[in-house]
Structure 1
């Protein structure tokens, strides 16, 4: 049995705990982190947007241009952060697992990573104070709607009570 556990900053401990509790001991557990591809590009775009104002003017002594591309630095920092998060998740899981990193459209990468899985573990990442569909952010909603395998959807902390349900809709108008 292959179990993919989506590791996201802030909600990963609940996913790891759920995998430890629900995945059979012989299951192949994959801890998955996905970095959005557009963040380094935005940092690079910010440098390009300076239109030459990122450093001393050309032709002047000491001109070195705007310096290193901040997109590359952001990508390195994101990669190091993913390594740290995955290592901490693996330590908390406390059993053999595979660490996987992907970059791209987060929701699509998670769905693709779960293509051959028999279980995908995902945490709610939206409004966690109320029951209902808003407890899922856009990426999680996409993953829940498109998961190619059974899904275990967990609350990162205790689930809110049923008193947080919205009131029922009004009855339809009479004839």
Structure 2
């Protein structure tokens, strides 16, 4: 079975621990990190619009892309060390939710962490990218809390039109 662990800064240790606990040892494990185009894109745009006419070699977006790649490699190295078993490391660039769904094609399990409001139970504990991945994954999904889950008294009250 192929297991994809989507690693994001701040929540990746919980995903790696879940793979160690729940994925069969014979599984092919892929540690996945996706670099989004947002920050370098903003820098490219600002440079082109305000500063960069005639000097493309000074575009700060290029440097931000390099730094993002180095950070992803460090995160994948740390995750592989924490996993403590053979694994593949995959870096992708693009819209995170789309790249995760594409990477999960042919996999048996996708492991990801909650990335929204983690102070209470409920649908808002998933951000837009994680919600998309959960809804569109072409395989089973293991959704983990990056820290202990909040207590059962944390969901919001029912809407006024549904109260008894």
- Return the TM-score normalized by structure 1: 0.88
How far is 1:172 from its partner? 5.7
Does residue 89 of the first structure (1) align with residue 79 of the second (2)?
A: yes
Deviations 1:35-68 (A, max 9, x none): 012322211111112155x8xxx9xxxxxx4752
SS in 2 for 1:101: strand
SS in 2 for 1:164: coil
Which of 138, 141, 145 is the matching residue for 1:151? 141
Give aligned pairs, total.
Answer: 164
How far is 1:169 from its partner? 3.6
Does residue 124 of the first structure (1) align with residue 108 of the second (2)?
A: no
- Return the TM-score normalized by structure 2: 0.93
- The equivalent residue for 1:110 is 100
- The equivalent residue for 1:7 is 7
Identify unmatched segments of 5+ residues in structure 2. none
Deviations 1:49-99 (A, max 9, x none): 2155x8xxx9xxxxxx47521111000000000000000000000000000
Identify unmatched segments of 5+ residues in structure 1. 59-64
| Structure 1 runs, 4 residues or longer, greater than 4 Å off | 170-173
How far is 1:165 from its partner? 1.4
- In the alignment, the residues of structure 2 paired with residue 97 and residue 51 of structure 1 have an alpha-carbon distance, to the nearest angstrom, of 43
Higher helix share: 2
